[in-house]
Structure 1
Amino acid sequence: MEKNFSFERSSLPEPVFQERQDFVELYYACWKTAFKNIVHVEKKNWLDFITCMPKSGNIWQWDSCFMVFFLRYSNNTLPSTNNIDNLYRLQRKDGYISMAYRIETEKEAYGERVNPPLYAWAEWEYFQITGDDSRFEKIFPVLKKYYLWLKKNRTRDSGLYWFEDTGSSGMDNSPRSGYASQYLNGSDVCWIDLSSQQALSAFYLAKIARYINKQADEEFFLNEFENLCFIINKYHWSDRHSFYYDVFSRNHPSLRHNFLNVKTVASFWPIVSFVADDEQINALIQHLLDPDEFYTLHPVPTLAKSDPNYDALGAYWLGGVWAPTNYMIVSGLKKHKRFSIARDIAYKHIDAMSKVFQNPVYSGIWEAYSPEFFMPATAKQDGVLVKNDFVGWSGLGPVAMLIENVLGFTFDSYSNTVFWHIANDCEHGIKNLKFNRKSVSFLCSKKEEKRKIEVETDGNLNVVISVEGTDVSLKKKLGKGTHIFHV
């Protein structure tokens, strides 16, 4: 049955960011666009879902997973998990889930190709804001079967994973592969992102298994995670360059694994996947902050500026700045407490999006952006711009990165805790946010000798507050009501 979805500003969380009202304006514009991009399918068993491309006739896997990360902040006014539930229903009996399906036929749109497997991460983070653990028992067998299918069908003898091509990786025209396959089963490239994404899946599947008391599964996925961490660092990490590369490998013991010397954002997946150690993360940050590589006017370009294929206009994945990869990077940095650099990248990303949105020549929220100009990226065809109104996953910046990185919130329904890392001098916060089945509001006054913190909740809540550049750390157990304190 079709549900009537309508945009109502008062039903959504209300961000407060005094110094940049344009960020708030972009936030609401993003939600308006998302409501316009709801697809209702007149077919049995299909759930209404959000699409980046309303007339494409497809539903995409990694787009759908990434959309969960911002749709979870809709206060249940939008279908946060319908996209991935539609894909779960289309899973084959052997566990396979395609990168995309034709809605009309429910058949694979591009043959037996996969996409980044991000379901477990998305499911856990959805739970962390909503407190809805009712999905875990149902989805765990689906995700376990998909994980095992990938392990059986997309690994080399080394245990490393392979995509069929760059299109399968999601980075369509990135210059990462093109080698002929020895066995005609995809290129003989081992892909740093897919191996890291499987490690990420194993990490969160272990968490879900523990939550639903499946001890054997928890142990299995913890072992999978540890093994993947070992082989990724053994084969993909270059000590000479302090960087993760794709590798060319045909698995013969007498043949070495050759690094493919192309620097792309795929190499930052080991951060969010907990594969990289502290020293490696610091080294990767140096690459992120290098203006000759990834620290452009609008970071983070998907191809390093030093690459001969790099295009300052974007040219899709030849330098274009994309919401999902930026979200992956800042999420990883934040998980490892690199709050400042994560905020810097998120702020610059939203700032650039806002400048394009305010420009009457372009306006809108775009599929990707130029790394060196405040404009949409060009597509694969020279001179053609990418798609507009791409919400979809381009909502990650104005919604998720604003709330999580710029305003500084982390939500943990598992412990019923809101963590707030304060790094803004102006009045800021968020109101009317649904967290763990309650409504909460947070407001911090502008920077003075002491900051006034006001927290309102209609249920019990744990709060942990830290202040950037200080040793201030405040922990409170709050009951229903309004609470005021100073830090």
Structure 2
Amino acid sequence: MLEWREKGYLWGDVQSGMDNTPRGRGCDGEMLWMDALAQQALAALYIERIAEVLDDPSTAKEFAGEYAVKKDLLNKYYWDAEDGFYYDIEEATGDFVKVRTPAVYWAMLAEVPGRKQAARLVEYAQDENEFGGQYPWPSVSRSDKDYNGKVGDYWRGGVWLPLAYMSTKALETYGYHDVAHENACRLLAQMSETYKAFAPHSIWECYSPSAARPGQRVDGENLTLVAQDFCGWSALGPISLFIENVLGFYNIDATARLVEWHKTGWGEQGIRNLRFGDVQTDIVADGDTVRVVSDKEYVLKVNGKKYRVKAGTQTFTLK
């Protein structure tokens, strides 16, 4: 469980879900986990926003204060300006514990970094020696000495869909849709190739950081495949990442009757039988022409341009 200290939270590898992560390597005393603090900042931020929608200014003010405190702590103590990265820190000394993992993107998801800080973090998402490349989102940087590029060994390189999904949403939050799209396409290609080429044909608990195959765990001198038929979270890839980042329908808001589409490429693409709220619609593009069929009115935004959809069938020429 989390334990609050003056500058952040004590946590653990098992509690965080990163069972055998090298995070904490070389730390002589207690370590404060940056993602624990960022997740609490994220919770405070959204409680504030929910309270505003519910016209509860007292609760909104309370959690705005909580958010501001946690955001300030992250930027004051956890941000390494030289590396352009948020690190875990030793509680006693405040020293950075320099093991880089995609858990850093919890800070972006919580809207903690400024634009220049975020740009530094995006560089890591694109760097093939860090979290980018043909097989993106390894669970520890490829430059780390404990990175297991051959099999992944769980959280020492394995590609985990919940971590990849969170990181992708963090990129979206700051408008880096193209980077999110590119990494999502590469990850889905890996999952598809693994499904077709590797027996048993399955969706796996995690994936190799260097090949189209499942991840493996290291147990002494033995290697064990990770769990198969694992749609508990790995279905985030072929469902959520596919719809939101490969196709690009990244924001579907039933309350605002709004669909936002980051469209890439010029071939036929889109989605049919999309349901949100009481709306059912088809949105299919071919080149710069979009054909929309809907049973209700809503607003469609394609690459930032707004189109008003009416009930029935209509065609838009993209601007």
**Shorter-chain TM-score category?**
over 0.9
- 1:110-259 to structure 2, matched below 5 A, reads 113=1, 154-158=3-7, 160-163=8-11, 165-177=12-24, 188-250=30-92, 256-259=93-96
Match of 1:444 among 285, 293, 302: 285
Cα shift at 1:204: 1.0
Q: 1:380 to 1:162 in 2, by over 3 A?
A: farther
Given that residues 190 and 247 in structure 1 are in contact (C-alpha distance below 8 angstroms), is that contact kept between their aligned partners in structure 2? yes
Matching residue of 1:328: 166
Superposition CA RMSD, Å: 1.7
**Contact 1:357/1:363 (<8 A) preserved:** yes
Distance 1:424 1:178 in 2: 44
Corresponding position: 1:282 with 2:125: no
Change (3 A) 1:290 1:358: same
Residue identity in the other structure for 1:477: R
Structure 1 gap segments, 5+ residues each: 1-112, 114-149, 182-186, 251-255, 467-472
Distance, in Å, in 2 between the alignment partners of 1:360 and 1:202 is 43
Verify the 8 A CA contact 2:25 2:97 in the aligned structure 1: no
Whether the 8 Å CA contact 2:37–2:70 is kept in 1: the answer is yes
Distance 1:485 1:179 in 2: 58
Matching of residues 25-40 of structure 1 within 5 Å: none
Give SS of 2:224's match.
coil
Q: Tell me the equivalent position of 2:296.
A: 459
Deviation at 1:362, TM superposition (A): 4.1
Q: Deviations over 1:171-210 (max 9, x none)?
A: 11001137899xxxxx721101111111111111111112
Mapped to 2, the partners of 1:476 and 1:240 lie a distance apart of 44
CA distance in 2, matches of 1:211, 1:416: 16
CA distance in 1, matches of 2:309, 2:163: 36
Tell me the CA shift for residue 421 of structure 1: 1.3
| Counterpart AA for 1:375 | R
Q: Within 1, Cα distance between the matches of 2:198 and 2:130?
A: 31
**Quick check: 2:259–2:299 contact (8 Å CA) kept in 1?**
yes
- Look up the match of 1:430: 271
- Under a length normalisation based on structure 1, what TM-score does the superposition of the two structures give? 0.62
Q: What CA distance in whole angstroms lies between the structure 2 residues aligned with 1:403 and 1:335? A: 17
SS at match of 1:155: strand
Q: Which runs of 4+ in 1 moved over 4 A?
A: 178-181
After superposition, give the CA deviation of every residue in 1:115-167 in whole Å (9 maximum; x if it has no partner).
Answer: xxxxxxxxxxxxxxxxxxxxxxxxxxxxxxxxxxx6xxx21112x1221x101
Write the distance in 2 (CA, Å) between the matches of 1:344 and 1:162. 35
Contact 2:252 2:258 in 1 (8 A): yes
More strand by share: 2
Deviation at 1:363, TM superposition (A): 1.8
Q: Which residue of 2 aligns with 1:391?
A: 231
For 1:481, the equivalent position in structure 2 comes to: 312
Contact 1:370 1:376 in 2 (8 A): yes
Extract unaligned runs of 5+ from structure 2.
Answer: none
Alignment partner, residue 255 of structure 2: 414
Deviations along 1:379-432, one digit per CA (max 9) or x if unpaired, are 243410100110011011111111111111121223221111111222111111
Q: Aligned partners of 2:81, 2:237: CA distance in 1, in Å?
A: 33
Q: Using a 3 Å threshold, how does the CA distance of structure 1 residues 294 and 360 change in structure 2: closer, same or farther?
A: closer
Contact map agreement 1:179 1:188 (CA 8 A) in 2: no
TM-score normalised by structure 2 residue count: 0.94
Amino acid at match of 1:389: D
Displacement after TM superposition at 1:314 (Å): 0.6
Structure 2 residue 189 is matched with structure 1 residue 351: yes
Q: 1:419, 1:463 within 8 Å by CA — same for their partners in 2?
A: yes
Q: Which amino acid aligns with 1:214?
A: D
User: What is the alpha-carbon distance in structure 2 between the residues aligned to residue 453 and residue 432 of structure 1?
Assistant: 15
Give how far 1:443 is off: 0.4
1:251-330 residue pairs with structure 2 within 5 A?
A: 256-312=93-149, 313-330=151-168
Secondary structure of the structure 1 residue equivalent to 2:216: coil
- Superposed CA deviations along residues 344-372 of structure 1, whole A, max 9, x for unmatched, are 11110100000000114342100000111
Partners of 1:170 and 1:345 lie apart in 2 by 23
Aligned to 1:125: none
Deviation per CA, 1:14-56: give whole Å up to 9, x if none.
xxxxxxxxxxxxxxxxxxxxxxxxxxxxxxxxxxxxxxxxxxx
2:213 equivalent to 1:371: no
Checking the alignment, whether the CA contact within 8 Å between 1:462 and 1:478 is kept in structure 2 is yes
Shift in alpha-carbon separation, 1:319–1:180, aligned structure 2, 3 A: closer
Structure 1 residue 279 displacement after superposition: 0.6
Alpha-carbon shift at residue 169 of structure 1 (Å) = 0.7
**In structure 2, what is the Cα distance between the partners aligned to 1:307 and 1:180?**
16
SS of the residue corresponding to residue 234 of structure 1 reads: helix
% identity of equivalent residues = 32
Contact 2:24 2:99 in 1 (8 A): no
Q: State the SS of the aligned residue for 1:161.
A: strand
Closer, same or farther in 2 for the Cα pair 1:360/1:257, shift >3 Å?
closer
